[in-house]
């Protein structure tokens, strides 16, 4: 039917349906989601607190980590509270302006996190492949400018996307089969031709996310080549251990994203509720696991987490000074042993 025969309307609110086909299980599904969100808040705020309060950690790698933690907090906090409200309280309504705002921050944090991972890969490349220039290239002012460039780039990429959605004319239902406002989910409710919106999304995926992924892969390829040329076995193991945590985080970030991108192109093969469930886990699992990975695999952060834990325990249980010292030694020995393994 031609678009002219439709009755257009300006959507005031959307109705988020949650995960279609699992309505009876929404209350139970929300419990692990809530636990993962609490873990995300605790882990990322703890990581930010440690990095910002310890002067010795005001180095490029840890400053990038603090940016990553902030992006993770923005991504999860933009989506999960509303998701839990839909599941537990059936608060399914969201205003059109609120939907666009949520959509904007979801995609901004996603683009920003991709750029931060690229910055971290460049940091490791310079530290391992050209260590003599590390302190002159990556100064605090340079890191600040990189952070500003990441925010500006994310805004400039996503703002046209929001503008395109706002210009669409809607004549279909305002039921949105999702837990949060997804770009293509909202665009598909329009009666206008959304070809421009679709191709802009593809261009962003290829030219922004895809290009970042290629540059990250190139950086770690050069890093591996440099690592295996090191004469000392201990130096090689140390470099690989340092990069291992970054590679784990990068794989957790890009693999679900690319899977989701291709899955939407073959949506008739994969059930819709599976795609939505994966999209929900995508905004929950990486922000939850990132601080855990870095806390466990980074010696400096792990040591400060242990010290913080020790102080809290000593105050809570009123331990004697000798007992406090013994407890701290035991924790440090266990942490050193785990890192060596």
Read off the pLDDT of residues 123-133 as tens digits, 9 standing for 90 and up.
Answer: 989 988 888 88
Contact 52, 300 (CB under 8 A): no
Closest CA to 337 of 291, 302, 290: 302
Q: What is the pLDDT of residue 10?
A: 66
- CA proximity to 116, closest of 151, 77, 75: 151
In the chain, what's the furthest Cα-to-Cα distance?
Answer: 82
Query: How does the average pLDDT of the chain come out, rounded?
Result: 84
Q: Give residue 30's pLDDT.
A: 93
Nearest CA to 99 out of 15, 205, 189, 3 is that of 15
Residue 237 has pLDDT above 90, yes or no: no
Q: Find the mean pLDDT for residues 165-182.
A: 86
Alpha carbon separation from 285 to 157, 178, 234 (Å, rounded) = 25, 18, 33
What local confidence, expressed as pLDDT, does residue 79 receive?
A: 94
For 49-58, write each residue's pLDDT tens digit. Answer: 999 998 889 9
Distance CA 87, CA 191 (A): 29
Quote the tokens at residue 26.
Answer: 């929404």
| Total-model pTM | 0.87
What mean pLDDT is predicted for residues 20-48?
Answer: 92
Predicted local confidence at residue 147, as pLDDT:
96
Quick count: other Cβ atoms within 10 Å of Cβ 169?
12
pLDDT at residue 327 in the model: 54
Number of Cβ atoms within 10 Å of the Cβ of 83: 25
Section 161-186 average pLDDT: 86
More confident call, 117 vs 173? 117
Report how far residue 280's alpha carbon sits from residue 80's, in angstroms, rounded to the nearest whole number: 9
Kindly tell me the sign of the dihedral angle through the C-alpha atoms of 65, 69, 74, 76.
Answer: positive
Give the pLDDT score at 1.
41
Q: What is the pLDDT of residue 245?
A: 78
* Dihedral pair phi/psi, residue 155, rounded to 5°: -65, -45
Residue 325 corresponds to which tokens in the numbers above? 């010292």
Residue with tokens 């002012």: 141
The percent of residues in the chain predicted with pLDDT above 90, rounded, is: 41
Residues 48 and 291: beta-carbon distance below 8 Å? no
The DSSP letter of residue 194 is -
pLDDT of residue 280: 84
Residue 9, SS3?
A: strand
Does the pLDDT value for residue 331 go beyond 60? no
CB 151 within 8 A of CB 112: yes
**2 pLDDT tier (thresholds 50, 70, 90):** very low
Return the minimum-mean-pLDDT range out of 73-82, 230-239, 276-285, 292-301: 230-239
């Amino acid at each position: 039917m031609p678009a002219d025969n439709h009755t257009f309307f300006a959507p005031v609110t959307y109705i988020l349906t949650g995960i279609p086909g699992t309505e009876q299980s929404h209350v139970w599904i929300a419990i692990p989601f809530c636990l993962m969100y609490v873990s995300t808040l605790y882990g990322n705020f703890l990581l930010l607190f440690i990095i910002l309060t310890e002067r010795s950690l005001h180095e490029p790698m840890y400053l990038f980590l603090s940016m990553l933690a902030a992006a993770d907090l923005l991504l999860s906090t933009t989506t999960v509270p509303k998701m839990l409200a839909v599941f537990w309280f059936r608060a399914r309504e969201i205003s059109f302006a609120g939907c666009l705002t949520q959509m904007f921050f979801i995609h901004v944090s996603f683009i920003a996190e991709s750029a931060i991972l690229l910055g971290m890969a460049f940091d490791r490349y310079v530290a391992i492949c050209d260590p003599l220039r590390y302190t002159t290239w990556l100064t605090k002012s340079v890191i600040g400018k990189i952070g500003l460039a990441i925010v500006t780039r994310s805004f400039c990429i996503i703002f046209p996307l929001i503008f395109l959605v706002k210009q669409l004319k809607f004549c279909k239902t305002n039921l949105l089969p999702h837990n949060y406002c997804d770009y293509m989910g909202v665009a598909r409710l329009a009666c206008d031709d959304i070809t421009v919106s679709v191709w802009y999304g593809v261009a962003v995926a290829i030219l922004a996310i895809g290009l970042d992924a290629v540059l990250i892969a190139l950086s770690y390829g050069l890093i591996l080549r440099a690592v295996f040329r090191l004469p000392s076995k201990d130096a090689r193991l140390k470099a690989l251990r340092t990069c291992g945590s970054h590679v784990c985080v990068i794989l957790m970030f890009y693999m679900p994203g690319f899977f989701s991108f291709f899955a939407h192109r073959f949506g008739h093969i994969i059930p819709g509720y599976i795609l939505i469930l994966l999209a929900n886990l995508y905004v929950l699992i990486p922000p939850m696991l990132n601080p855990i990975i870095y806390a466990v695999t980074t010696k400096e952060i792990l040591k400060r987490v242990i010290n913080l834990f020790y102080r809290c325990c000593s105050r809570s249980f009123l331990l004697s000074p000798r007992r406090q010292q013994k407890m701290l030694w035991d924790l440090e020995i266990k942490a050193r042993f785990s890192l060596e393994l």
